[in-house]
Structure 1
């Protein structure tokens, strides 16, 4: 029980903006601290998955700027490293002007790191006389190296893509998750975590519905399919993602290192619970079930891959809603397995507006998985990547996302870095 609570505390943390550019901003703020001044030149090395997830998403509090350079610059000018993933929570008007001037006059080079790590950020800064370097690896706030003028100020060993410093996720299993979520004492520690998730993620979901962000997928869904409870649950989650991907300056509580996944595994459950007048306790327990199910699936895949993380979060939300509908262990487990059978294989091609639509598809797959089982239908072991038993299926999903889609991830990154230019003739024109 204590380990499950610790995992929730490690994963359900607030972040402002897409977490990959925020990790860059955090690294830049730490670099400035080490250097002791604002650098006059910066060199950035980033793994392909970092580049992929930063290329097309708006960095909050920058005046709608995109890209690695913007994330680094705002971290240098306005970052508060002590806030970690809320590092650029507060940027004054004066700092926004300074940010623009800094970007105009400061060379910031970005290089692709040919590394075995999916998550790798290396930043060097050069001041008037001094220079400093910092490295973040494997997860968003995991600083593993700091150096100034050749002197190592801090170093932390890491092996491959393991996540040292975090609670061992291998203790998670669906039976344990279900028993914990449905029977644990709802202490102030647990409800405090969930109340923050409810407050933050519903606020940005409502902002997405009320405002105009990205492709406005939430509003499209409501306009096309009406205000039915399940469609509303899907629409609000999509709206939260659209707001977050397109510059909304509101924090979210993340899951598995991702704000989109945090929104996806929480907002549909909250909306469904509220619309059906479920008890506060039932909503808390459904959220525990959904959050931990998403974390369990992502453990085998890793923080970043070519496998869209919304899939894991969407089918987890389906499991949470199955619980709110009165479902027991069988209904929850079959909902998750059926949902994975339907939508696994959706690729992650970076953070951007279309994430909201992918979230919608993932949650709908989870809901369809539930309705299938209630109607006496299910996907069985031997159907493609589905194996007998939910744990075996989750192992398969981890293998697919981490190992099977490595080349897919490389090709996605190649396509995004070239942006189709290699097929546009000698002049690179695709008009």
Structure 2
């Protein structure tokens, strides 16, 4: 048998590829990833300039504007908006820390940021059209020199960094606004069948560290959200009014993490699919059900890997930033993992995903803000229902709405709606948010 047909060889490639995806997706971030990406771009511009900018221009795609508008910039003493994120990043950010760029901000940095923001001409923001949904361009100037940083498609994907006319990273040959990071071939291994096989008997050692960190950090911010008053207190409300059964705890723990994170909590989280809310949603319901079911730690880690990978698979059809709320993708992952821990078959795991998408697929994203916690609660509730139905061999059937013959076809169908069908929805949401459209 040739090597490329050896089942053991193919399994090893699958395991390496899926561990690579987990390491790529599960990274630490401090605060909502969109304002943090703006701060990171600004910090990188300052580092390139080797001086505090005397002025900055920030160009952003509509989805960046939408997701930065209403969240608190972490470690900012309550400041909001693109101007605050960019200025704080330039003043006190550490570009070497990427999505934890604001971790070392000081009180003096915050005071300096407020001083600069008082001059409304210091940092100007403009909407850039005809670019990827995730696009940030920071141009900073000081003492006759300028630095330019462009991030596109992914929160830390720098496609251009330049000092004056010298390109230090990326290229000007193609329009950086249209630059797309090359597809990682590892993602070709993302199928529900491969993911479940990996969870059951794959070699997860290459991702063990990031999975452990996801549990540790996301559990901590969830407990913070339950213990103190953050945001709309969705998690606390659930625990106070819906009882303490596992289904309620699963929703509340995930929602509480978002309560804290959307309202400026300085604790880091491990993200998935570029989103802390999705990283939290993939993790906390799985942790709660693992405790309820009495599964050992090794099986918990494998369930979490399953959750994260299913979320990445579903979200991959939609792309970065959309009018389709990404926590639905994460809830599909959590539901699939819960089903697996309960002893569900591959058909029942697939049924859980189909039932979840058939229920809450298409929840709109109208920006990052406190109500994200409520959307997490609704999505996790749908996933738990979807799992309960699947375990009883009940579910939505092909031909009913966007449900297709197989789980993979259903994921692709819903993804097409999120990526293509909801483009116009995304534009109208943004127009309403910025006041361009009035009703």
State whether structure 2 residue 227 is matched by structure 1 residue 210: yes
Give the SS at the match of 1:273.
Answer: helix
The correspondence of residues 234-383 of structure 1 with structure 2, limited to 5 A, is: 234-383=251-400
**C-alpha distance in structure 2 between counterparts of 1:161 and 1:377, whole Å:** 44
Give the SS at the match of 1:371.
Answer: helix
State whether structure 2 residue 36 is matched by structure 1 residue 22: yes
Aligned CA distance change for structure 1 residues 141 and 165 (closer, same or farther; 3 Å): farther
Give the SS at the match of 1:44.
Answer: strand
- TM-score, scaled relative to structure 2: 0.93
Unmatched runs of 5 consecutive residues or more in structure 2: 1-14
**C-alpha distance in structure 1 between counterparts of 2:165 and 2:417, whole Å:** 41
Q: Which of 79, 87, 109 lines up with 2:124 in the alignment?
A: 109
Q: Which residue of 1 aligns with 2:144?
A: 129
The correspondence of residues 130-169 of structure 1 with structure 2, limited to 5 A, is: 130-156=145-171, 160=178, 162-164=180-182, 166-169=184-187
The answer as to whether partners of 2:303 and 2:340 remain within 8 angstroms in 1 is yes
The answer as to whether partners of 2:349 and 2:390 remain within 8 angstroms in 1 is no
**C-alpha distance in structure 1 between counterparts of 2:250 and 2:74, whole Å:** 26
Give the SS at the match of 2:59.
Answer: strand
The answer as to whether partners of 1:25 and 1:79 remain within 8 angstroms in 2 is yes
Q: Which residue of 2 aligns with 1:426?
A: none
Of 275-284 and 245-254, more deviation after overlay is shown by 275-284
Q: Deviations over 1:345-386 (max 9, x none)?
A: 100001000000000010111111111123332101111001
**C-alpha distance in structure 2 between counterparts of 1:249 and 1:172, whole Å:** 33
Q: Which residue of 1 aligns with 2:435?
A: 418
Aligned CA distance change for structure 1 residues 359 and 161 (closer, same or farther; 3 Å): farther
State whether structure 2 residue 196 is matched by structure 1 residue 178: yes
Q: Deviations over 1:139-197 (max 9, x none)?
A: 0001111222222222246795743274542331110011011111342x322111100
Unmatched runs of 5 consecutive residues or more in structure 1: 424-431
Of 368-377 and 263-272, more deviation after overlay is shown by 368-377
Q: Report the CA distance between 1:102 and its aligned residue.
A: 2.3
Aligned CA distance change for structure 1 residues 81 and 208 (closer, same or farther; 3 Å): same
**C-alpha distance in structure 1 between counterparts of 2:184 and 2:105, whole Å:** 30
- TM-score, scaled relative to structure 1: 0.95
Aligned CA distance change for structure 1 residues 181 and 224 (closer, same or farther; 3 Å): same
Aligned CA distance change for structure 1 residues 63 and 351 (closer, same or farther; 3 Å): same
Give the SS at the match of 1:226.
Answer: coil
- Name the Cα RMSD after superposition: 1.5
Aligned CA distance change for structure 1 residues 229 and 238 (closer, same or farther; 3 Å): same
